[in-house]
Copies of this chain bind each other. A is one copy, B any other.
């Protein structure tokens, strides 16, 4: 299933995206019978998921509203957002994570390099990123985010995927100026709205593995990143296991799996994001997330 959070006048309801025989994506409102349920509550509830599947099977897509006519909220609103640095082959340890082009032969870091973004960063798939006056060196990153569905505490690697609800796309927007002011990247990563998430969660049953997927990131329509998920250093099951040894992961929490390096051409043309720039992240089978940056 592709599950979304529909924003109806500020109330968020879960929905499923159905691809109609007319080739148009349409949305089935899954909150109709249970108006208080959010998508994260649905993801954590086997019976509700089964009911949702049955409703999808019964639905006639052509009668449903078009996805393009709805406003989407972030699919989840995580309390905890854990992000990976240097998690694709090709990165080297530079002073600015995500900016430095590396050798494919670079050794993997001995442990995952994990940083935190605060909850104020999360934005919906239709929200622009508003760059505040203090952020003058704004940069984008395209990532696959793991969405936790079941509470994960000290889980073995072999059991870890049972705690994953699904996958979505995440733009780990950063202000490199604030990021580089001190040893800890925290502030450069945690600017209000610097975490567009979505557009939907592809449920884990449809993603047995992230392997073999193509990721592309475009800036204003020009591809700047093209990579295979096969270059990912630490995989999903290991990360859930590793992190759950010390942090109880809750439904709706996300682990963002890191960004691949940019092409040499893109890196040499690099400049801070400016008013009106758009960034699109596209991953095989997971959809695409386009964000506009404004001042």
Q: Which A residues fall within an 8 A CB radius of B? A: 79-80, 82, 85, 93, 109-120, 132-135, 153-154, 175, 178, 181-187, 190-192, 243, 245-248, 250
Name which residue of chain B comes closest to A185, CB basis.
B184
| Residue with the greatest number of chain B CB neighbours at <10 A, chosen from A85, A114, A184 | A184
Cross-chain pairs A/B with CB under 8 angstroms, 15 sampled: A79-B79, A82-B186, A85-B184, A111-B182, A112-B182, A116-B117, A116-B118, A120-B248, A120-B250, A132-B154, A132-B245, A133-B154, A135-B246, A190-B246, A191-B246
Is A114 touching B182 in the complex (CB atoms < 8 A)?
Answer: yes
Q: Chain B's nearest CB lies how many Å from the CB of A106?
A: 15
B contact residues around A132 at 8 Å (CB): 154, 245-246
Residues of B within 8 A of A120 (CB): 79-80, 247-248, 250
Q: How far is the CB of A181 from chain B (nearest CB, A)?
A: 4
Q: Knowing A134-B245, A190-B246, A248-B192 touch, does A184 contact B182 (C-beta < 8 A)?
A: no
- Docked CA distance A85–B112 (Å): 22
